[in-house]
Structure 1
Amino acid sequence: MARPLTKPPDRPSASRSSAGYVLGLLFAGNLLNFYDRALPSVVLEPIKDEFGLDDTRVGLLASAFVLVAALAGIPLGRLADRVARTAVAGWGLFVWSAFTAAGGLLTTFWGFLASRVGVGIGESSYAPATGALLSDLYPSERRSRAHSLVMLGFPIGTLLAFLTAGGLAEAFDSWRAPFLIAAVPGVAVAFLVLRIREPERGAADPARPAPPPPHQSRRSSLLSLMRVRSMYGMLLAFAGYNFAAYAIGTFLTPLLQRYYGLSLVAAGAVGGVVVGVTGLIGLLAGGRVLDRAAGRSPEARVQVAAVSLLAAAVFSFAGLVAGRGALWQLVVFLSLGYMLGIVYLAAAVPVVSDVIRPEQRSGALGLLFAFGYLLGGAGGPVCVGVLSDTMAADSASATEASARGLHGAMLTTVPLAFAVAAIGMLLAARSVRGDRDSMLSGETTP
């Protein structure tokens, strides 16, 4: 039986300036999130040389970070449903900044791996807590734009890492220098995030059901999330998108160096264009398009994201199939694919906020990110690394084998992963209207 709707108690609403301040601050934290996350990928070849790694172990290094982030995301997301989300996000930012600095100090492979695990734990707190917090500052029809602005930290942070990390490493004659420098602004932003005033949960929803009974167990709360049918499509989509995005983020610079013969700084600059500039355009344009679609119907936003992901699969294949003499083809078409694929990020959190109760949103986002990171973010680098080494084993020349193996692995996996993500969004589109109606009416989806 449906429960009566309840509205949030009357209170002064956050002003546009205060919401804008929070939005800008969360963007800054997210920029540092992805800057710190991208650093090993940019200086991967020097790290590989110092520790004597093959591509399989490089993939495992990247995946260890993602695996820990995924596992920590579920309890930290649920924690953010019970305590101030600003505290979870702020302390998480402080923790990952400290471990980023540790990565620049530790001198063994296992020490460096442990530092990346610490970064993963800290960063896993940020997206679930801030995603739910933003959903309480902006109504549904404005959430894609708000979240797309915060998610600009992804392409801008990655772009800055690609453009600066190689230069810093060469300037200080050490790949460790960027890790130490990046920690300083992280601590400062963490302090400011901790001072944000927590908004009331569900404040931006038109109406919300009465809160669940106090005796409801954590297990039953988690099971109630899995009764939301559109979540299954969202989980598949996030896994597919992360597989492609992390494969590109981990191995694009080595691909440009090995297969196309670019220097570290040149490869970083080209990689910055592919994953930074185009990602910036995709999120800015995508947020507006998705919010307009959401104004028509709840499922329209999901359908637009699905079409963008399908186009990303086509364009990324057209780019990665390019031979050594056609670097322009790789840059143009992989950039288009990345730009269209990243539109998904402007849809993911708003869609979850449309179908999940306010007091469960951080936990639901933690589950979404965990699943996507486990199957996609961790699976992408490992699968590409293993496939690269397997393909390389068929060639007599080690240098040539390494180049061709990585090229073949990227071509095989990245377009397919984008296509899987598109299928997930199409599945979610079939249920999102009913799930939203059930959430607003207080019913539980059967």
Structure 2
Amino acid sequence: MTRPLTKPSDRASAPRSSAGYVLGLLFVGNLLNFYDRALPSVVLEPIKDEFALDDTQVGILSSAFVLVAALAGIPLGRLADRVPRPAVAGWGLFVWSAFTAAGGLLTSFWGFFASRVGVGIGESSYAPATGSLLSDLYPSERRSRAHSLFMLGFPIGTLLAFLTAGGLTVAFDSWRAPFLIASVPGIVVALLVLRIREPERGAADPARLTAHAPREDRKIPFLALMKVRSMYGMLIAFAGYNFAAYAIGTFLTPVLQRYHGLSLVDAGVVGGVVVGVTGLVGLLAGGRVLDRAAKKSPEARVRVAAVSLAGAAVFSFAGLAAGQGALWQLGVFLSLGYLLGIVYLAAAVPVVADVIRPEQRSGALGLLFAVGYLLGGAGGPVFVGVLSDHLAADSASAVEASAHGLRTAMTITVPLAFAVAAAGMSIASRHVRADRHSMFSKEATE
């Protein structure tokens, strides 16, 4: 039995270094999460050439691990509500690192496909377990900043993948090299995560919430989560955001290579700036802004995220609509769109923690990530790939058909997905206050 990091009686005196160490270690694991996740996108053209794939097949390949993550996220989230969360996160990290290495070793398309499925199973455990764990280390008014620091693993890991995967591919004359190299630190960090002490569930929540916590032997129906009305808006928002983010993550490098004529390495650098640098700024600034809004009212944090997503829709359209002679336009406006969009990630977990009881949070986050990955993360690359092939088939120019088809598909779908996410957060903002009141009421435990 793991010892709690803090006890209810000594929450105020618990050393901050413990929470900081856990946050830092989980951040490193998340960085590796997104590094491994981004590798196929960065070296997509060599993979496509080796296996003779079209864009539809590329979309299916990119969505393989996401689809499995969606299906596995719910039971693994529920598991994290019942067993120590560091065990769920640590073993998940170990599994996805091992399958990342397998992707660099297996030589057939179906072998590589299976390795991405394995990565999806491992990664599906990480977000629900760590999101719930961090919510027990930081109070509501500090959760957006804490989670934004954790989510820095997204832009930094993606940036490192964009900056290094192309170079490693060229240096070793094989797109498989980055997969093998990336697996080593993942296994090391997994062993450290397994040594984290489990914090008391609800340790950072007000005493009036934990005073009425259900007994350990009381079963909480999973369907009770769907009585929380703001969850519906959150599910819509996460699906929309993931659709846009995964479409960009999968096809930005091919757009830069095909439509704007960049080399693999140069496309990786530009893609790294758009996805990595702006994501870094968006999370750091967004976490602070969201926590300030949360101090005003429960729904203010949600409204700020909704406005940011609406801005992302406008700027991403302006960037993706750039012509072949206006690479600067794509870089500037798509960067601004991505910066505003990623603010959502600093809001998602804290909002769930604001309306869901501690003993249900991992399951709720598993549901959120499952729907987001299934409809958005898996659906985005596949839908864009199918639309790209359809538009290319209708093009009069066979030489530029693939380039124009993909660029047009991205210009249509990405801004629309960000707009759907903004609508979802707007819906959620209408119910957060009532749902939070219900969470604190004694009836919520009965």
TM-score, normalization: structure 1? 0.96
The within-5 A match list for 1:17-416 is 17-207=17-207, 208-209=209-210, 210-212=212-214, 216-217=218-219, 221-416=221-416
Structure 1, unmatched stretches of 5+, are 1-7
Q: Distance in 2 between matches of 1:368 and 1:135?
A: 16
Aligned 8 A contact 1:101 1:182 in 2? yes
Check 1:17–1:215 CA distance in 2 against 1; reply closer, same or farther (3 A cut): closer
Q: Distance in 2 between matches of 1:264 and 1:296?
A: 47
Q: Report the counterpart of residue 3 of structure 1 in structure 2.
A: none
In the TM superposition, residue 214 of structure 1 has moved relative to its aligned partner by: 5.7
Q: Distance in 1 between matches of 2:21 and 2:218?
A: 36
Q: Report the counterpart of residue 5 of structure 1 in structure 2.
A: none
Root mean square deviation, CA, Å: 1.3
Which SS does the other structure have where 1:175 is aligned? coil
Amino acid at match of 1:365: L
In the TM superposition, residue 25 of structure 1 has moved relative to its aligned partner by: 0.3
In the TM superposition, residue 221 of structure 1 has moved relative to its aligned partner by: 1.7
In the TM superposition, residue 153 of structure 1 has moved relative to its aligned partner by: 0.2
Which SS does the other structure have where 1:141 is aligned? helix
In the TM superposition, residue 393 of structure 1 has moved relative to its aligned partner by: 0.2
Check 1:119–1:75 CA distance in 2 against 1; reply closer, same or farther (3 A cut): same
In the TM superposition, residue 9 of structure 1 has moved relative to its aligned partner by: 3.8
Aligned 8 A contact 1:227 1:444 in 2? no
Q: Distance in 1 between matches of 2:435 and 2:113?
A: 41
Q: Distance in 2 between matches of 1:148 and 1:321?
A: 30
Q: Distance in 2 between matches of 1:351 and 1:377?
A: 20
Aligned 8 A contact 1:257 1:264 in 2? yes
Instruction: Give the fraction of aligned pairs with identical amino acids, expressed as a percent.
Output: 83
Amino acid at match of 1:298: P
Q: Distance in 2 between matches of 1:277 and 1:31?
A: 14
Check 1:303–1:445 CA distance in 2 against 1; reply closer, same or farther (3 A cut): farther
Deviations 1:303-330 (A, max 9, x none): 0000000000000001011100000000
Q: Distance in 2 between matches of 1:290 and 1:104?
A: 40
Q: Distance in 1 between matches of 2:389 and 2:292?
A: 45
Q: Distance in 2 between matches of 1:378 and 1:403?
A: 22
Amino acid at match of 1:54: D
Deviations 1:382-441 (A, max 9, x none): 110000000000124433000000001000100000000000000000000111111112
In the TM superposition, residue 15 of structure 1 has moved relative to its aligned partner by: 1.0
Amino acid at match of 1:407: R
In the TM superposition, residue 11 of structure 1 has moved relative to its aligned partner by: 3.5
Deviations 1:319-345 (A, max 9, x none): 011100000000000000000000000
Aligned 8 A contact 1:227 1:445 in 2? no
Amino acid at match of 1:417: A
Aligned 8 A contact 1:43 1:165 in 2? yes
Which SS does the other structure have where 2:48 is aligned? helix
Aligned 8 A contact 2:213 2:445 in 1? no
Check 1:188–1:78 CA distance in 2 against 1; reply closer, same or farther (3 A cut): same
Amino acid at match of 1:382: V
Q: Distance in 2 between matches of 1:27 and 1:178?
A: 21
User: Structure 1 residues 394-403 or 38-47, which shifts more?
Assistant: 394-403
User: Structure 1 residues 274-283 or 56-65, which shifts more?
Assistant: 56-65
Q: Distance in 1 between matches of 2:276 and 2:390?
A: 30
Q: Distance in 1 between matches of 2:14 and 2:86?
A: 16
Q: Report the counterpart of residue 427 of structure 1 in structure 2.
A: 427
Amino acid at match of 1:119: V
Q: Distance in 2 between matches of 1:157 and 1:391?
A: 32
Amino acid at match of 2:230: S
Amino acid at match of 2:137: L
In the TM superposition, residue 442 of structure 1 has moved relative to its aligned partner by: 3.1
Aligned 8 A contact 2:274 2:338 in 1? yes
Structure 1 segments of 4+ aligned residues over 6 angstroms from their partners:
none
Q: Distance in 1 between matches of 2:154 and 2:349?
A: 15
Q: Distance in 2 between matches of 1:181 and 1:328?
A: 33
Q: Report the counterpart of residue 10 of structure 1 in structure 2.
A: 9
Structure 2, unmatched stretches of 5+, are 1-6
In the TM superposition, residue 445 of structure 1 has moved relative to its aligned partner by: 10
Amino acid at match of 2:106: L
Check 1:16–1:216 CA distance in 2 against 1; reply closer, same or farther (3 A cut): closer
Q: Distance in 1 between matches of 2:442 and 2:36?
A: 41
Aligned 8 A contact 1:224 1:444 in 2? no
In the TM superposition, residue 444 of structure 1 has moved relative to its aligned partner by: 3.6
Q: Distance in 2 between matches of 1:280 and 1:214?
A: 39
TM-score, normalization: structure 2? 0.96
Q: Report the counterpart of residue 4 of structure 2 in structure 1.
A: none
